[in-house]
Amino acid sequence: MKSLKFKLYSHKRNRYLNQAINAAGVIYNHCIALHRRYYRMWRKHLNCCRLQKHIAKLRKRNPFWQLVGSQAVQDICQRIEKAYQLFFKHHKKGVKIPGFKKVKKYKSFTLKQAGYKFLGGNRVKIGNRVYQYWNKREIEGTVKTLTIKRTPLGELFMVIVVDSVNEPEVTFETGKIAGFDFGLKTFLTCSDGSKIKSPEFLKASLNDIRKASKHHSKKLNGSANRERARKNLVRQYENISNRRRDWFWKLAHELTNQFDVLCFETLNLKGMQRLWGRKVNDLALSDFLQILEWVAFKKRKRVIYIDRWYPSTKTCSCCGHVLDELDLSVRMWRCPSCHQINDRDKNAAINICAVGASTVQLGDVRQARACNHCLT
């Protein structure tokens, strides 16, 4: 499965899609209220099928709710059901119970088998109306779902989920493996000694965001000036997000062109966010790894993750000696066994590469060549 994203043309008929998204938000909040009321009365979880039948009856008597297709209403009930299942299963890990959402901030609704039809070219029929979108690529495969999303700026996008082509087999073109260590000062340190620094887009744009935020806070609530200031603030954040995402895509293509297997350490990013907050959010490693996995899949490369608890930093890459403790402020350390001076980040990247290479079978010659490349 893969998703394709297209932007809809700005047109006055788009107000019907905005009304449908608002109606979906009202239905969502009503379903949340029913779940909570049912639990207070019976101390039980409301079944998804019973909720769908009840909402279908209410929908017949409410013209505003009929702006949303029946399958979109079913999808809302199913999403709430999944959110509750995740809460019951992982509430000890910090997963919160689904709550109410502001209708103005509600983002999307999803249509599955019915409610839309592609008319060819760049036209799509949603409900009884025809909309145009920026047709930047061909839609290949069978369309499974169509989602209409609304951004904070009020722009509308169409996200299509289609059947992907047969998954390609993993092939190796260069026979090279590399390990990468994530850091706060250096975004990625490669096992070959090269370092990649992040542009830190949020840090570079903090002054503009502060000015836009102050300008927004001084405007009168509900006024047109406040709405224009809000959109200006949103544009600042979207600009940061777009530049960061563009840099991630270019970096992912560059790394996959150099190496066939890329090894990373599994990190506790939520714990790192609690310690370093905005710094970790600005680097956005999880977003980069998602992009890298997709690019690696398209190019028939592999991304491997090693165990979180493997002591990659405290293990000497030369002799394998493991230190008892290593403070975070120590960037260079000497191995007490072989007296090798190790750079903290490069040493960790080499160890990550060695562990990742042990889990991949490239053939005897290629595997030896890759391991020698990592350890030199």
Q: Where are the domains of the chain?
A: 2-162, 177-200+245-375
CA–CA dist 347, 107 (Å, integer): 45
Cα angle, residue 146 at apex, residues 140 and 147 outer, rounded to 5°: 135
- pLDDT tens for the chain, 376 residues long, are 788 999 999 999 999 999 999 999 999 999 999 999 999 999 899 999 999 999 999 999 999 999 999 999 999 999 999 999 999 998 887 889 999 999 999 999 999 988 999 998 899 999 899 999 999 888 888 899 999 999 999 999 999 999 876 655 555 577 889 999 998 889 999 999 899 999 999 999 999 999 999 999 999 999 999 999 999 999 999 999 999 999 999 999 999 999 999 999 998 888 888 888 899 999 999 999 999 999 998 888 999 999 888 888 888 888 888 888 888 888 888 888 888 888 888 999 999 999 988 887 644 334 434 443 443 4
215 exposed, middle or buried (CB, 10 Å; 0-12, 13-18, 19+)? middle
Q: Do 319 and 306 touch, CB atoms closer than 8 A?
A: no
Give the CA count within 13 Å in the CB-facing half-sphere of 232.
17
The backbone torsions φ and ψ at residue 90, rounded to the nearest 5 degrees and listed phi first, read -125, 25
Cα angle, residue 274 at apex, residues 269 and 279 outer, rounded to 5°: 75
Q: Do 317 and 181 touch, CB atoms closer than 8 A?
A: no
CA–CA dist 134, 144 (Å, integer): 20
pTM of the model: 0.83
